[in-house]
Amino acid sequence: MTSREAYNWLISHHTETTYLASTEALLAWDQRTQIPRAGHAHRAKQLAALAKLLHQRATNPRIGECLAQVEGTPLDTDPYSVEVANSREWRRAYERATRIPERLAVGLAEAAAEGEPAWAEARPRGDWKAFKPYLARLLSLRKEYAQMQEFEGEAYDALLEDYEPQQTTALLEPIFSELRAALVDLLRRIKEAPGKPRVELLRGDFPKVRQEAMIREVIARLGYDFEGGRLDSTAHPFEISIGPGDVRITTRYDESFFNPAFFGTIHESGHAMYEQGLPAKYWGTPAGESASLGIHESQSRMWENMVARSLGFWQYFYPRAYEFFPAFADSDPSAFVFAVNAVKPSLIRVEADEVTYNLHIMVRFELELALFRGELSLDDLPAAWDEKYRDYLGVSADGVANGVMQDIHWAGGAFGYFPTYSLGNLYAAQLYKAAELELGALEPQFASGDFAPLLGWLRRNIHAQGRRYQPGELVRVVTGEELNPAYLIGYLRRKYSQLYSL
């Protein structure tokens, strides 16, 4: 077997696996948007059967043999060539999969497929007791999973590695700590500022059908391709890729509040534009995949906040907005932009402003770490949650529904996922700065309705790269330096100093 033959076998094996895995994406989309109530038990079984199959394929010993051949006589010397990047990622996935027995892989899929609907049912009632057994099972399986992976010191790092390769607690803690200090200081100054945004502008009568019409127009203008996607409504918005030409998003409408659907959909369309910009010719291999969850989040947050909450954006879209919602005509773009950027500590992460958002993540990161260090039990989790919210955000939950049960992530066993949200914000600010160095100031372009230059830059520098680089490397290659929290801190200070006249 030559290295070329081995590589070709790996391509074909993984491409076929990816086709099968992509049916899992459809099962998940349907589970959250379409499935009838009585269909959940069967869906959990389908997902478990698929997880078993995918685990078998991921641990096929022939992968190890072919990888050894390709690694022994590499096809390319460039460490970031498609061939070398694919081999690196296949090796990583193979090692991680072979450390996990089938029983555990299937158990995790089953527990997640049962946990999510259990959470969805228990949350509205605030029924922590009903949900806790599911969470306990997931936590115990994830702990077992983490112990089977390789890590130094922190078991939690084994989970981080799945979502954000090469990130560790040791790397994140100083960055998060610098960010937190800056945010707490900025928040204090904002609270003391005399000027207040007219947030009542965003409350009123926003019929779903008009919201949807406006949103469809806006995200199509930004660059989301509806020919290769669709927009539905769900309780919990998400983006999901079934495959090339089929990248779906969902949103949630609040007919008395403008923000959730509008900014939520732009957020999801940011994820979707990334997926729609991945190199289709490498589909089925790592080179055709997104770089990481953090890089993914950098795309959604950039479009949601740095673009759609900018003055330039609203200089262009405001006249259109008051055609859809005539009440807006009483205001102007500047007052509107101040309103959509209002800072107010709140209980709910997905409704948080840019200044407080990362504090919500710190809460989760620290609690997850405590759970995996064995310093916190599930019984004490709700109280620990509430305490941190009081400490960092100065708010108190009125129950678990808006407290510890607000997110779906843990219900699917996704511990270690939350830090990627803050990483996304950090990456976004650093990438945006690099884009402006090349393209010039972006807001004047937005003000003329030109979003294509930014999208084009992201397409070339991020989307088209697939997973050739690991996330940290990608940031370094594209921006010329390591991840640096100064970009996000600087962006937030400038923006909010201006808005609040600090």
Q: Which chain residues interact with a copy of itself by CB under 8 A?
A: 16, 19-20, 22-23, 26-27, 30, 34-43, 45-46, 48-50, 52-53, 225-230, 242-246, 248
CA 347, 173, 146, 380 torsion: positive or negative?
negative
Q: Which is nearer to a copy of itself, 53 or 193 (CB)?
A: 53
Name the token pair of 120. Answer: 């969805």
Q: Which is nearer to a copy of itself, 111 or 369 (CB)?
A: 111
Contacts 24+ apart (CB under 8 A), 295-298: 295/424, 295/427, 295/462, 295/471, 295/474, 296/271, 296/420, 296/424, 297/271, 297/420, 297/421, 297/423, 297/424, 297/425, 297/427, 297/428, 298/423, 298/424, 298/425, 298/426, 298/427, 298/428, 298/431, 298/462
Query: What's the closest the beta carbon of residue 221 comes to a copy of itself, in angstroms?
Result: 18
Q: How far apart are CA 459 and CA 148, in angstroms?
A: 37
Q: Which residues are catalytic?
A: 268
Query: What's the closest the beta carbon of residue 24 comes to a copy of itself, in angstroms?
Result: 8
Q: Which is nearer to a copy of itself, 216 or 388 (CB)?
A: 216
- Rounded to 5, what percent of the chain is helix, strand, coil? 70, 5, 25
Q: Which is nearer to a copy of itself, 403 or 466 (CB)?
A: 466
Q: Which is nearer to a copy of itself, 19 or 101 (CB)?
A: 19
Name the token pair of 349. Answer: 């992460």
Q: How far apart are CA 48 and CA 106, in angstroms?
A: 5
Q: Which is nearer to a copy of itself, 22 or 168 (CB)?
A: 22
Q: How far apart are CA 320 and CA 329, in angstroms?
A: 10
Write out the DSSP string of 423-490.
HHHHHHHHHHHHHHHHH--SHHHHHTT--HHHHHHHHHHTGGGTTSS-HHHHHHHHHSS---THHHHH
Q: How far apart are CA 172 and CA 366, in angstroms?
A: 11
Q: Which is nearer to a copy of itself, 57 or 493 (CB)?
A: 57
> 372: number of CA atoms within 13 Å, CB side?
29
Q: Which is nearer to a copy of itself, 39 or 74 (CB)?
A: 39
Close Cβ partners of 301 (under 8 Å, ≥ 6 residues apart): 267, 270, 424, 425, 428
Contact status, residue 442 vs residue 308, Cβ threshold 8 Å: no
Query: What's the closest the beta carbon of residue 27 comes to a copy of itself, in angstroms?
Result: 6
Beta-sheet strands, E only, within 149-230 = none
Q: How far apart are CA 159 and CA 414, in angstroms?
A: 8
- The DSSP code for 35 is -
Name which of 447, 367, 377, 439 is nearest 406 in CA terms.
Answer: 367
Three-state DSSP class for residue 61: helix
CA-based R_g, the chain, Å? 23
